[in-house]
Amino acid sequence: MAGPDIDGLGIAILRSSDAARQRCDEYRSRIAGLLDGGLPSGLSSHEYEKNIRMLIRYADLQATRVALWLDGPVDLLVYVTRNFLEWSLWCKFVGAAPENIEALMNDSKADVVDLIKLNPMFSPALYSSLFSVHENTVTQTVALERLWETTSQLLQSFEDDEGRLPKTTQLAKLRNEHDNWVFKECSKLLHPTAMSMLMLPNATEADLEQRRVFFRSVALHFANLGLDALLAMQA
């Protein structure tokens, strides 16, 4: 299976690793310039600047991964491509109004809260369903009870300050037809069922390279779309 055809979609096709690596370097240099004080003047004095800078740093991390995985396993490039797709959607959402960055931060906080709630070390009910409480020493039991009490107080305090923070932004609603196509292409190569596509016995190195060309090209395409959306932001 070769990579999908992207000719005619306005995507710069990076057929060689050197060209892709150069594009990554140029992109990271652009980000460095922004973080060093090159943000639009209205945005740089905005109350949401700190979080928007964090959003930009995330792009630098993903661009670094594109450069590292240019010639690597296809599914790693797929992973970073989907990250850049979703990142670009957040950038468009934030670019429409700087205060929308709060929705991103709320979603991030909700994820952190969920990680705590779903960790058995922080939940007596989950812990008892996975481990035998009776095998703990007295010291371990006391330590766990203190941990559970502290965690419960922390989560309650957080909810008192922030509310229950349900995820409010549905990124799927922000995707257009091309976004949906790329999202599906990525999704089909990130799940266990992808083994039928990633482990084809007759796949040649040329087939794999064509897929790499597709995903590294599309990843950096969305990287630029997102950054352009932020730079066009009306403060």
pLDDT for 124-147, tens place per residue?
888 888 888 788 888 988 888 899
Residue 41, amino acid: S
Percent of the chain whose predicted confidence (pLDDT) is above 70 = 84
> What does the domain layout of the chain look like in residue ranges?
17-109+170-231
Q: What is the Cα–Cα distance from 89 to 7, expressed in whole angstroms?
A: 22
pLDDT at 28: 96
- 171 falls in which pLDDT band (50, 70, 90)? confident
What is the C-alpha R_g of the chain?
22
Q: How many CA atoms lie within 13 A of 41 on its CB side?
A: 0
Q: Could you give the C-alpha distances from 234 to 3, 6, 89, 95, in angstroms and in order? A: 37, 31, 17, 7
Which pLDDT score, from 0 to 100, does residue 8 have?
A: 59
What value does the mean pLDDT take over residues 81-89?
Answer: 96
Tell me the pTM.
Answer: 0.82
> Alpha helix locations (H) across 6-137?
17-33, 41-44, 49-68, 74-96, 101-117, 124-130
C-alpha span between 179 and 171 (Å, rounded): 11
Q: Write down the pLDDT at residue 21.
A: 96
The residue among 104 and 69 whose pLDDT is bigger is 69
- DSSP symbols for 114-129: HHHHT-GGG-HHHHHH
